[in-house]
Structure 1
């Protein structure tokens, strides 16, 4: 299968506040972006890898794909919002990725907190890391999106790719340009809009979240699961689960897995 490289010239033509660094091979774009942030990289630096050999997900899960078969990139941000609002960043990212894919014709949705699905199959994962730097904390937002993987190349059987979903792989450069533009626009609007913008994000996120309304089983580190109906998302981005004994609120950092039980 022919898998073209990203077009560096087209990426260089992005908005001036986005600077894209393309690496042929790296272990983890999040690790590189974090190091760039510690070295003083400004907000808007994007590190993208043609081949990521040791990508990381939540709970240090590993993720690797063949060269040029995915979009693996990390964006350096330096939020000015309150630290209490930072948990919305990965949810915002998942929401924007799903929204961008829907605009491109894919039936995408977000599984709380930020996995992007096509149907019940995972198409993209997102990892947010806080990095302490000499000029204050930065956020590194990593995205891994399966583009042209075949069924035999999928890292897990519950995953999928844009190729498998539609029969054709899109232009990765055009898709990356669209994703970065949408992410920056949504991030800027959220930062500038205060509590009203967070309320709008919450409403839009819930509308596109496939978890809401389903019966779920939330696996906790303690080993004691929480079961019930995913009733909504609170003002801090936490999942509200309505069970037999009432409502329980869980944050993304508190859970191991969230699984639908009504399939």
Structure 2
């Protein structure tokens, strides 16, 4: 009911709508409406109440609910079904649970806070309330399971494109990190359930440090992680960032599903790569080797040339790629 009242207020934004009008429209008492209006105010909505005029929405908070995201969402299927939480252990965990229950392609699980956020290789991901974007997308591609890692490149390209639209020049640290001023602002975690020749579902989690104060990050992460707002010196509206991210993701993902191509995503990731042209450390199952990152191929694999002249394709998975002297 709260969502229905909010929808009516948004439809009549800046204009008064009477309590009686809301009551007749939704079939609930005016007392109930008053209670829901107070709940909305507690959520951060600024609502003016005037006797004999009714209620008027003045402003909305920067929340990531469907009502707030849908205003700028122009997708056909990505985000048409949004599961919104205030607090959750992990959006990826919830997404996998819902995928098993048959939730459709493009379903979004998004939370204001994660208590057990995870990155690649089992690393923890700090996810404070109302300060970042913590979301997962359920995808059901009809593809060979070997092609699932390409989805990570699509996610990275969508983040880069979205930040570019805000005049923020970020870079991709292949395969799944987005960095700004040489520090991590975003991580992508792609997980799959499938059989030998069949994908049951893919869950792609995206975590973005948007308005986090650096002091909120654990001390051991402050040399390698940051937030967008800290680096650019201004507050970033999260709901606009999410909507634009989902819009961009669908365009790039459509290319993959329809043409089995990630050419556009690879081009974006290549142009914004922070590794290409640099000496890098390849860490695989505890073993370390050093080579030069020279390119991304059409499959989104990193090409690394070693001192003996051989060039190897590095496939994302249980492999870490780092700069010679640290994170990048």
Q: Give me the TM-score of the superposition, normalised by structure 1.
A: 0.90
The answer to whether 1:84 aligns with 2:146 is yes
1:251 is matched with 315
Q: Distance in 1 between matches of 2:128 and 2:263?
A: 39
1:98 is matched with 160
Comparing 138-147 with 99-108, greater Cα deviation is found at 99-108
Q: Is the 8 A contact 2:145 2:199 kept in 1?
A: no
1:117 is matched with 179
Q: Is the 8 A contact 2:176 2:188 kept in 1?
A: yes
1:231 is matched with 294
Q: Is the 8 A contact 1:65 1:153 kept in 2?
A: no
Q: Distance in 2 between matches of 1:132 and 1:248?
A: 27
Q: Is the 8 A contact 1:55 1:62 kept in 2?
A: yes
Q: Is the 8 A contact 2:138 2:201 kept in 1?
A: yes
Aligned runs of 1:99-178 on 2, under 5 Å?
Answer: 99-132=161-194, 137-155=200-218, 156-157=221-222, 158-178=224-244
> For 1:79-101, what per-residue CA distance to the aligned partner results, in whole angstroms no more than 9, with x for missing partners?
12332322110011112101211
Q: Distance in 2 between matches of 1:200 and 1:70?
A: 27
Deviation at 1:34? Answer: 0.7
Comparing 91-100 with 197-206, greater Cα deviation is found at 197-206
The answer to whether 1:6 aligns with 2:67 is no
Q: Distance in 1 between matches of 2:93 and 2:116?
A: 10
SS in 1 for 2:262: helix
1:202 is matched with 266
Q: Give me the TM-score of the superposition, normalised by structure 2.
A: 0.73
Q: Is the 8 A contact 1:233 1:240 kept in 2?
A: yes
Q: Which has the larger radius of gyration?
A: 2
Structure of higher RCO (CA pairs closer than 8 Å, 6+ residues apart): 1
SS in 2 for 1:26: coil
SS in 2 for 1:63: coil
Deviation at 1:131? Answer: 2.5
Structure 2, unmatched stretches of 5+, are 1-43, 45-60
Q: Is the 8 A contact 2:210 2:229 kept in 1?
A: yes
Q: Is the 8 A contact 2:88 2:114 kept in 1?
A: yes
SS in 1 for 2:317: helix
SS in 2 for 1:202: helix
Aligned runs of 1:10-21 on 2, under 5 Å?
Answer: 10-13=68-71, 14=73, 15=75, 17=77, 18=79, 19-21=81-83
Give the aligned length: 257
Q: Distance in 2 between matches of 1:118 and 1:188?
A: 27
Structure 1, unmatched stretches of 5+, are none
Q: Which structure carries more strand by proportion?
A: 1
What RMSD over aligned residues (CA atoms) do the two structures have, in Å? 2.1
